[in-house]
Amino acid sequence: MTPSTGALRHFSRIKNGSTPASGEADYWGGDIKWATPEDLGRLSGDKISQTKRQVTEQAVEDTNLSILPVGAVLISTRAPIGHMAITEEPMAFNQGCRGIIPGDRVHGPFLYYLLKSRAPELNAMANGTTFVELSRDELAAVRVTFPPLETQRRIARFLNEKTAQIDGLIEKKRALLDRLAEKRQALITRAVTKGLNPAAPMKPSGIDWLGDIPAHWGLVPFKWRCQVQSGQVDPREAKFADMPLIAPDHIESGTGRLFEVTSAEEQGAISGKYFCPSGSVLYSKIRPALRKVALYDAECLCSADMYAIDPGDHFDRKYLFYFLLTDAFSSYAELESLRVAMPKVNREALGVFPLSVPSVFEQREIAAFCHEVDQEHRRVGDQVVSSINRLGEYRAALINAATTGQLEALL
């Protein structure tokens, strides 16, 4: 038998999703799964059996919800477009998804892989002004080619096996990244809170989450050594508009690595910002569990969600940077953030934080050690990330080759 080519609508039925009225208590909390793009985006495999929310039989009857059978392909068609999975249970879904029920000439898992290989094309087809969306008609018009059913099954079995192997390798490498991050965090926390000399005499700090500190170190309130900038400036003023503007979203969690930073004018900033003198340490006061701290070597602005901290002449800025990344400080910050409605560390709580203070010379030694740890972590971590990316590219290429007839052994 020869392959069949045509619009997707000729090989399957395509269903729209919908949302029952949120105010109707009788519609929610039932036994029927109700999928959303968020549910699809959380998946690590190709099957979906659980959803964050469920609806009732009454919701299905009153609102005529579409119910997909087992073995259908569910795909997100509102940004982000292209998350998809095969249903393992009958389920409803919202308007951010489309459900595709394979016809008699289509093997569901093959259809899944075929659409997976076409995800970039589907994204390119999407349009909209309020939100980007791939309509039912656009999806139905996508031209597809299906080989004979037995060939589809053979290709799907092959891809199931190969993608499982690739996914297993990716999972191991992600676990390695986690272990590398844990090792980095432990080394930095120990160096900054205990020093570099394991034989140094220790003394109790009197603080549970800090524990013992070297006997020759001091312990003072944060505000005695560091000044937090106050008084906001207008980022639209000429002298500030061209300055880089740094917000929490520009900082990688836990590492202090800065993403691309643009000027206040380029970001369209209009609300008040803090001016940061050269040498400031920038700390995100919101959601402290994310550990967003950064160094910037020139004058800049930071958002109102951050503190611009001046460590003064007797405190090394790089040591302070690493201190704010430690488990000890983060434990304190997270605890303090729970005392207010919006998780954040206020100035008063930051000011009374007990800061362990070695000599400036020792601070610089510790900061240099932490920098070396950081550099090694980034070097190895970047290699692992590059390997993960290559595996992902190979996975995508393999799916594309198998579903478009490029692997002759499968035909």
pLDDT digits (tens, 9 = 90+) for 293-322: 999 999 999 999 999 999 988 889 999 999
Side chain identity, residue 286: I
Mean pLDDT calculated for residue range 33-48? 94
Mean pLDDT calculated for residue range 178-190? 95
Q: Over 80: is that where the pLDDT of 342 sits? A: no
What pLDDT is recorded for position 337? 81
Instruction: Render 288-357 in DSSP notation, one character per residue.
Output: GGG--EEE-SS-EEE-TTEEEEE--TTS-HHHHHHHTTSHHHHHHHHHHHTTSSS-B--HHHHHT-EEEE
CB 285 within 8 Å of CB 346: yes
Helix (H) or strand (E) holding 203: strand 202-204
What pLDDT is recorded for position 340? 67
- At the top level of CATH, the class of 218-357 is alpha beta
Q: Over 70: is that where the pLDDT of 129 sits? A: no
| Domain boundaries defined on the chain | 4-146, 218-357
Q: Over 70: is that where the pLDDT of 128 sits? A: no
Instruction: Render 224-244 in DSSP notation, one character per residue.
Output: HH-EE--SEE-TTSHHHHTSB
Beta bridge partners of 212: 204
Mean pLDDT calculated for residue range 243-262? 93
What pLDDT is recorded for position 32? 97
pLDDT band at 409 (very low <50, low <70, confident <90, very high): confident
What pLDDT is recorded for position 2? 85
Alpha-helix residue ranges (DSSP H) falling in 85-216: 108-117, 119-125, 136-140, 149-194
pLDDT band at 338 (very low <50, low <70, confident <90, very high): confident
- Which tokens go with 290? 């994310």
pLDDT band at 180 (very low <50, low <70, confident <90, very high): very high
The fold of the 4-146 domain, in CATH, is Adenine-n6-DNA-methyltransferase TaqI; Chain A, domain 2 (3.90.220)
- The rounded mean pLDDT for the chain is 93
d(CA 15, CA 13): 7
Does 4-146 match 218-357 in CATH topology?
Answer: yes
Helix (H) or strand (E) holding 32: strand 28-35
* 197 vs 260, higher pLDDT: 197
- Quick one: three-class SS letters along 34-57? EECHHHHHCCCCCEECCCCEEECH
What pTM, to 2 d.p., does this model score? 0.83
What pLDDT is recorded for position 224? 92
pLDDT band at 240 (very low <50, low <70, confident <90, very high): very high
* 313 vs 284, higher pLDDT: 284
Q: Which of 351, 325, 344, 332 is nearest to 226 (CA)?
A: 351
pLDDT band at 361 (very low <50, low <70, confident <90, very high): very high
